[in-house]
Amino acid sequence: MLTFFPTPYEDELWYGIITRYHIRSGNTYWKYTIQELFPEIKGYPRLGDTMPNTSMQIIAAQLPENVLSLRDCALRHSLFPFRMRFQPLEKKREYLQEFLDGENMQPKFLFTTKRNGAEMPLRSCPQCAVEDVKQYGEPYWHTEHQIASLPLCPKHLCRLVPLPRQNTMSIGQQLILPPKNLPDAVFAATETEYSLTEALHYMYTLPYETSPNLLSENLSTTIENAGFLEDGNILRQSWDVQRLYTALTERFGADIVVRCFGKHITKAHARRLRRYEIYSTEEYALLAVLLDIPPLAFFSGIALPLELDMKMRELACQGQVYTKARAAQLLEIREDQLLPYAKRFGIRPFWVQSGKPCADDKRQTYSVEIRLSAQEKEELDAYMAAHNMDVYGHALRYFMQKNIGDWKNNHTNERSFNNEN
């Protein structure tokens, strides 16, 4: 039974709690503290992990009941909620319960860190360190600051300062204390860094139970709105992974993209991203910033609009006649894409379709010649430009259909009135 153990600070990293125990213990060397806390473990436990591990279970078992909550250790002093953000709710609950029941979760958590390779250096915020000393008398390692892709402190928006490791051994094998005298805070940052910090912080602070909404398909919608669909994949909605990877690299730099996504994005990876089957929270944060969508869109049940669908419906409702080329130009797509998109959205074609079979009474076999004055032609040209028309015949047919339709309605109403009287 341990005679004392530090009360964890708000959002304190588990490793940091152990280092504070070492300071209070009076032990001369770090290895003595490890032997004292983990007498049955040969070597060093994985204290440098940012995920829940057996060291938490061992410490909790040596303290009186209710002194240290194992649930709080997992949810407040590790990156467990953040790493599990895109897991289905059922799987989240299962993982948490297994950990609370004493299971070693390290094998299941390997997928959350396999791309990161070596441990990332611990990082501090100069402003947070000053505030910690004022409030607690000492600085401490904040859990959120250890998110590898987080460029700035979410509270102060200054750059996080990495602390160089003393040697090449793992973090758990050495004592690394947060420095009390950090360099002055640097507040200069890019808009991308501000946006990425905001997105990561939002995903970090959501309740543990929050999972992505699979019904809204907002990621697929924004990918298409941004023009990252592969040519010729209108119905399958396959992503152009090469262009997407290039855009990510140009926006964030190669280092962060390679660490999060790997050296390229495969089509299989893209399909799993689309279905929220990739559980790397940082990948979705980078996509949110690149696509300029709020992170809330991944979790909300409110579907974002598909811009092309809205634009095509708007044109179809105007009742105007367009050539195929003009319709494609207004929608900013190719002519051969018009019909596939119309079928996908359930919209009847509103452009002239050459070669389309029709009944004899619908055949356009008569021609009429009309002569206009210069002023009339100028007015007609202005009207057509204002209504996105580029063929005189289509404009005149629109006038005719509209006026004849009005005349028919008035004539029918007039006959009905006379019959009633």
Q: Report the C-alpha gap between 154 and 249 in whole angstroms.
A: 23
161-162 and 123-124 as β-strands: parallel, antiparallel, unpaired?
antiparallel
pLDDT at 116: 47
pLDDT at 117: 46
Q: Report the C-alpha gap between 280 and 203 in whole angstroms.
A: 11
Is the pTM for the entire model greater than 0.95?
A: no
Pinpoint the alpha helices (H) of 292-337. Answer: 307-317, 324-331
**CA atoms within a 13 Å half-sphere pointing along the CA-CB vector of 166:** 10
Tokens of 9: 């600070």
pLDDT at 216: 85
Q: Tell me the pLDDT of the chain (421 aa) as tens digits.
A: 788 899 999 999 999 999 999 999 999 999 999 999 999 888 888 898 899 999 999 999 999 888 899 999 999 999 999 999 999 999 999 999 999 999 988 777 765 544 444 578 999 999 999 999 999 999 999 999 999 999 999 999 999 999 877 778 889 999 999 988 888 999 999 999 999 999 999 999 999 999 999 888 999 999 999 999 987 767 778 999 999 999 999 999 999 999 999 999 999 999 999 999 998 999 999 999 999 999 999 999 999 999 999 999 999 998 888 889 999 999 999 998 999 899 999 999 998 876 555 555 555 555 677 778 888 778 788 887 777 676 676 677 667 766 776 776 776 666 665 565 5
| For the chain, domain boundaries | 14-173, 212-298, 307-420
Q: Report the C-alpha gap between 122 and 162 in whole angstroms.
A: 6
Tokens of 190: 């890019």
Do residues 326 and 352 make contact, with C-beta atoms less than 8 angstroms apart? no
Q: Report the C-alpha gap between 199 and 101 in whole angstroms.
A: 33
- The alpha carbon of 61 is separated from its chain's Cα centroid by a whole number of angstroms, namely 39
The secondary structure element, H or E, covering residue 123 is: strand 123-124
What's the one-letter identity of residue 326? R
Q: Report the C-alpha gap between 17 and 7 in whole angstroms.
A: 8
- 367-378 burial, b at 16+ Cβ within 10 Å, e below that, comes to eeeeeeeeeeee
Residue labelled with tokens 């992505």? 212
Q: Report the C-alpha gap between 248 and 226 in whole angstroms.
A: 13
- The alpha carbon of 200 is separated from its chain's Cα centroid by a whole number of angstroms, namely 10
The secondary structure element, H or E, covering residue 369 is: none
Longest dimension (CA), the chain: 111
Q: Of 2, 16, 297, which Cα lies nearest the Cα of 136?
A: 16
